[in-house]
Structures are given as C-alpha cells and as structure tokens.
Structure 1
C-alpha cells in the first residue's frame, strides 16, 4: 500500500506547518475530506484561538474552525506522527528588498528533526527557483540524518489562495504540483486531488513550479504598474483614469486591470524574489524592477494628491483632519502585512498630519504592534476635512449618504474632500453634494 492509499485510509497523517491565511484553510480542507490532519504553528496564541473556534484570518470562519477535526498544536514533536508534510510559512523580504528565507529554513529544520523514512515534504511557500532543492533538502538531510530520494521525497506546490476572495477558493483553483521524481510527483498530485476540485497541473520539475509562482505574480504586478503610470500621467493631464479604462475595456482583448496600491505578501513581494535570483546570475531586471518601483511609489503619490487637495480647498495642512478608511493590504481581509496604506500615512506625517485610521476588519492589537497605529471607530469622527477610501471594505463602500456625511458633520460645506483611491464611491453624487473629489 502506497502513501496516498494510507492517507485516505487514515493509516497515515498529513501535517500543515504554518497556519496562516494559506496553511489553515488547506488543513481544514483535508480534514473536511476525512483525512487525519495535524496543524502546527509556533504561534501559541494562534493555536489557542483555533482550538477555541476563533478564525482570526476570517478565511473559513469561526463555525468551520469550531467543527474541524484538525489537531491544532504548537508541539513540534507531533510532526513525527505525520508522513506527508506541507510547509506554508511566510516568505517576506528584508528591508533591502532581498528574500528573507528565515521562516522557511526554520520550518525545514523543525520538520527535519521529526522526519521519518517514507515521508514526503511539500513546500508551498513562495521562493525563487532552486530554493527547495539547493537550500531546503540539505537542511532536511542534515537534521534528519536521512537521504532525499532514498529515505524521503520532496515536492513543491505553490499556494494560490487569494485572501478574502470567496469565489476563487482553494478548491476551485488549479493546483500546480511537482516532485523530486515521477513517483513523488504522482503521490503529491493524488493527495492534492483529494481537495482540489479544479484539478492539478503536473509541472515538469520543482524549479518550473517555483518559477511559475513568482512569474504569475510578477506578471500581475507589471500590469498594475502600467495602469498606475497611466494614472500618474492622466492626473497631470486632468483626465479621469477610470473613464479611460472604462472606454478601453470595451475592446475584447483589454486585460481589465486598474490602478491601485499593490501590497500584501504575494504581488508586492514575489517579484523581488525573481529579481534577486536574476541578479545573482548577472542579469539586471528592467521591466519587473521598473514595475516594482512604480507600484512602491503609489502611496506617496496618493498622499501628495491629498496635500494638493487640502491646499486647493484653503486648508492649513498641518491642522487638517484626514481620515484613512482601511489599513489592510486589500478588501475583505484582516491581513495588514505589507499594506501600502502605510506609505500614505507615513508621507502625510512628513507634512505634520496625524491621520485618524479606521478599519473594522483589521485587528486593533495587531495594527498597534505592527505599525504603532491606534485604530478609531467610525462613529467617533465628525470633523473630517478629508476622507480617504484606501481599502474597499463593504463597510465603507456600502455606507449611506447620511453615514458618509456624518464624517464631515462639523466641517464647512465647501471644504469637504474625498480621495477615492479605489474609485468605488459615487463620484457624481459626491460632486452634487458639494464635495471636492479626487480618485486614482
């Protein structure tokens, strides 16, 4: 009986190492199919929340977490009970934009200490081509004393979960899988097919799978950078970018991208992994790096637009009450990692403005710890000079006119400014109400 058969017969277990926005939904998905799953994370607070039926990621919800059969633990010795290990830990970048592989290396050392013969280790964390085979395998061999290809196998299957997206979920996104050899590839493919309804794509090698991940996000990053560059130029021309995009999208081959802030733990990070490896090989990226520079500068561009609108309305900039609506890196998620809204706030602070930040989905304690920002409640604000829609949470874009007007209750009618970064508000209605309106 092979490993796949033992897993579906509950004779062997699967372990998930790293229970964040990606790892936890995968663990729950396997458990929902009757598989025995060990969910491991070094964050004891997070483990306790899961055990209590609390889903801080909001990816599967409290009810599902409360009912799941996943064995949540921070005890690494439990990993020795599993034969199929999935690594889903963050892969951030350092301050100099180089890859930070410490979480992956740390997780690999932990697994290596508890690795047993006949096991398979699959990495989902985003890395540049070569990391799995050149960095992770040697660590596993050193820590376990076992030989890869003989005593255990390794594969790579890049995560494609889109946080906050309830349409493109784990089950209906095609999964790329790869293995160190044909046998491991087939086992890994069959295991993932347990939960992936959309099917799997068998990559020709681990390096191909690793490259596919960084390239698919780099492609999206470049397309958004193009739209952001257009937005910068159209702003100088006095043309509404969204009206241009709306007209352009009437053509069948338009790609449908829009300008915006590009942060988070994938699109805002993955291109730097590709750039790093390319430069190691003597090639200096031109298109990808240029796109990153444009997107990394959009927070400052938006902040400067806010300052311009304040000046045009006759406000004293340092005394202006600016309200930032949203701190997460995108809508419908509490994830604040690598949020580019911070760049807007930092730039405003350079002008002496201390903006009020509102976000009903972000965790106040986490926001305070990560950015030193105290979140405020929307109903506390009545004297805004400028409201900035930075994140299109439903709580913001579904506000009634009365709720929105309350933000400016104590502000003179001819001095109310709205900066619509996401271009989700009703421009015509706001102008009719006497608001000064700007959008990206």
Structure 2
C-alpha cells in the first residue's frame, strides 16, 4: 500500500488491489500536516491502524501546541516560559478557556467568579466519611468529582453556553477544595474551608496546611512555586487524560463525569504518577556514590531498571517545563533553608552524569517536568500520595477548556475508534458434550 502526494494537496492511497483513493490534506497553524481519513473506511473498506494513537490527529484544537523536537510548549500561542514567569493560574485558566489573556477588568471578574464557587455543598463532607482513612487521595478525588453532578445538577444543559461556562468555573474553583479535603481526611485533620481573601494558590496551600489551633500564614515564595507548578501542568495537548475527557464528553456526559474520567486516566503511573516514581528511584539510589552503578543498570536492559524523570513521549529535546521547575526547586529549597537536601543533590548529580553520557544524549533522554517537581512538593511538606492530586488540580483548567472546545465545535460526533480484529473467524456453536 502506497501513499503519494498529488499537486493539489491531495494524497492518493494505492491499495494492494491497485485501486486509488484520494485523501485531502489538512494544514494547521503550526506543526505537521494531516491526512483526512474520515471517509477512508466508507470508500475503501480500509481503516488506519495506529496503536496508542501516537500518529493520529483525533481533533482540531486551538488550545495547546507542542513541538517535541524543538522543546516548545505554547498555550494559545504564548510560550510557557513567558506565562510561567508573568501570569497567575487564574490568568492561565482564563486564557485556556477564552483564547486570549484577560484585561485587568476581565481578570478581576473571572477571579471573583472563581472565588464565588470555591465552597463545596456541606453534604459532600459525607462523601469523605464513606472512605477508609487509608484510601488513596486520588480515589477520593475521582469519586467526589464524579459525585458533584448529584449536587450541582441544576445547570447541566451542555447545549447552553452559560451552563458550560458555569460548570467550568465550578470545576476549576472546587477542585483545590476537594483535593485539600482529601489530604486532610487521609491525615486525620479537620477540613479547612476556602478563604476568598487569598489568591488561588495561596488559598490552596492554606487549605492543605492550616489548622484551627494556630494562625497559619502562607509563604509567598511557596505560593508562587505552587502557582508555577499549576501553570506548567495546566494543559499538554491530547495526552491520555485529556483524550479521555474528550472521549467521555463526546457522548454528551455531564462535565463532572467527564473530568472524573480524566482523573481516573491521570492516576496511571505512566501518566500522572511519574513524579512519584522519580522520588522512589532517588530513594532506591540512596547516595551519590551509587549513581554510576545505577546508570549501568539502566543501560543494561536485562536488569529492567528505568531512569525515571528523563525522556518524554512527545519531547525529543529538553522539556521546556523542566528548566523552569529546576529553577523553582532552587528557590523553594533556598527559602526553606534546606542547604543539604539529599534528594536534590542526588538529582543534580544524576542529571549531570546522564547528560554527559552519550547513551542518554543519543537517545534524547533529557530531564522532564517530573524530575524536579516531586522534590519541590516534598520540600513543601506534601506527601507523595498527593502528587498526582495536585497534577489533577492543575490539569482541570486544561480539561474543561478542551471539553468546552469539543462541545462547541460544529459537526462534533461521538468518538468511536475502529479496530483490526484478530480473533477467531466465524464458527458454529458446539454442544458441551461434543467439545473435546
């Protein structure tokens, strides 16, 4: 089977039977061109085969662009480096949802809208009482977010723009409260309610760590670090969890159910749990002197040892978020006066040795965003079990933007992937006493 380019920007697919089928080309603003195969099966009885969908464009989107070869990440056209230095998480959420950075007045309105929805229905406290104390916080987050539709079912008509907007605000605003309550419940602490006199990240940290017995003051350096972490994780194109949200959303499911499905997908260790894996790896290495031996085990594939926090499915260069995270890590450790953090020393030396080794450089295995984020969160006092929960808080902005974009696109259809069937051919039923 051959694909040839014709002069009028149409691809001609030649099958083994000699038949040709014309496939139109699709051009984006940036990145690779596409081949429109929507009519392929109807016209040729052929389907595209792409396990993992790594080479399949499942949608058109204006939200996020990644150039993995050059290490570029853009939100609505803006470089992540500029946004993480100059914007707040509510600004980024507004940008992802609306396509443009807000004016001062628009941001003030949007921030006020978010603050008006930070509270949870009081009966949601009963959800947490139904969980075991040792339940994973992601289980609590997934279950509680899915249950929000039982409390906020008054405005769930996804055909109405105002209902979609309200659902987006509710999800972005309430996610930190749910996350903080999951943390408090697992630790046996009383729930802290939102404080609308604080900024988004300040309020989140306050709910995580404040106790009724003392006056807790949020460190501005840690609040800024949290803001950066949320911004850097806010969206990342059509990854597994975002694709799951879109897949669920294509059925017309309510937005709370769609975001819960994204949380479930994010929970996988190959997706949202990578920063936890980095900390486990550093703990297993134990000491800087053990790094060379560890590196050799990584190179010897028979040992099955992986270098966590290096490399990325999309980035074949430095993950642009990793450099920002490394600098933020140094700021946090400096602010907390952690001069000799063993894990950081291990991470820095591991990075130095790996990047000087042609084995990793030739394979373009550079540090990714997860390599340093786990160290930051650990230094801030956040337990490992909460790392993916924080990821979900950040990614909610992107999820609702992607969901909203999909719902509003003309001609949106339910997602229904095809398959290549490799099972048994048609056969007749055999009575049980004749099976041998």
**How would you bin the TM-score normalised by the shorter chain?**
under 0.3
Task: With a CA cutoff of 8 Å and minimum separation of 6, indicate the structure with the bigger relative contact order.
Answer: 2
TM-score, normalising length: structure 1: 0.26
TM-score, normalising length: structure 2: 0.26
Higher strand share: 1
